[in-house]
């Protein structure tokens, strides 16, 4: 009986435990920016972009928030690599989706050239 109770409690814990957000992308796989959209007012000037490889959870691409401390540097990296056709590495938060689209754009955490 004790084993049954432990089993049921364990099952309930794992069934109702909140899912954890993750940083998605690859720290080694470089991708190319295919589209770049800059909004003048939405979100105070949000920027969204798409890449060559679909990342599960971020199927539409990524977004940059202008109030983030690294916004200017990240935007410069995205723009310069896009214009030059050079690849980058992007890591993002899969639990911070952009509200400006039904597509899944994840908020950028890191960009590496």
pLDDT digits (tens, 9 = 90+) for 11-54: 333 333 344 568 887 777 899 999 999 999 898 999 999 999 98
Query: Range of 98's domain?
Result: 21-112
Residue 81: partners with Cβ closer than 8 Å, 6 or more residues away: 32, 33, 87, 88, 113
- Rounded to whole angstroms, how far apart are CA atoms 38 and 47? 4
The pLDDT, as a whole number, for residue 27 is 72
Position with higher pLDDT, 6 vs 50: 50
Q: Is 5 within the bounds of a domain? A: no
Q: Is 89 within the bounds of a domain? A: yes
Average pLDDT of the segment spanning 52-70: 94
Q: Is 74 within the bounds of a domain? A: yes
Q: Is 68 within the bounds of a domain? A: yes
Calculate what percentage of the chain has a pLDDT beyond 70: 81
The pLDDT, as a whole number, for residue 109 is 94
Token pair of 22 as six digits: 């993750």
Q: Is 12 within the bounds of a domain? A: no
The 3 state secondary structure assigned to 33-98 is EEEEEECCCHHHCCEEEEECCCECCECCEEEECCCCCCHHHHHHHHHHHHHHCCCEEEEEEEEEEC
> Residue 46 to residues 15, 24, 42, 72, 103: CA-CA distances in angstroms?
36, 20, 6, 11, 15
Domain of 106, CATH number, reads: 2.40.50.110
* pTM of the predicted structure, to 2 decimals: 0.78
The pLDDT, as a whole number, for residue 14 is 36
The pLDDT, as a whole number, for residue 21 is 65
Q: Is 85 within the bounds of a domain? A: yes
The pLDDT, as a whole number, for residue 22 is 81
Could you give the number of structural domains in the chain? 1
Q: Is 76 within the bounds of a domain? A: yes
For the cut 50, the answer to whether the pLDDT of residue 110 exceeds it is: yes
- Rounded to whole angstroms, how far apart are CA atoms 34 and 2? 57
Q: Is 64 within the bounds of a domain? A: yes
Average pLDDT of the segment spanning 51-69: 94
The pLDDT, as a whole number, for residue 80 is 96
């Amino acid at each position: 009986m004790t084993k049954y109770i432990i089993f049921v409690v364990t099952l309930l814990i794992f069934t109702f435990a909140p899912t954890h957000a993750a940083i998605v992308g690859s720290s080694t796989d470089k991708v190319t920016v295919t589209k770049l959209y800059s909004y003048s007012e939405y979100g105070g000037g949000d920027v969204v972009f798409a890449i060559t490889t679909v990342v599960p959870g971020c199927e539409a691409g990524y977004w940059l928030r202008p109030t983030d401390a690294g916004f200017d540097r990240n935007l410069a990296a995205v723009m310069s690599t896009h214009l030059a056709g050079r690849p980058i590495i992007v890591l993002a938060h899969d639990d911070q989706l952009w509200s400006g689209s039904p597509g899944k754009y994840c908020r950028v955490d890191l960009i590496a050239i």
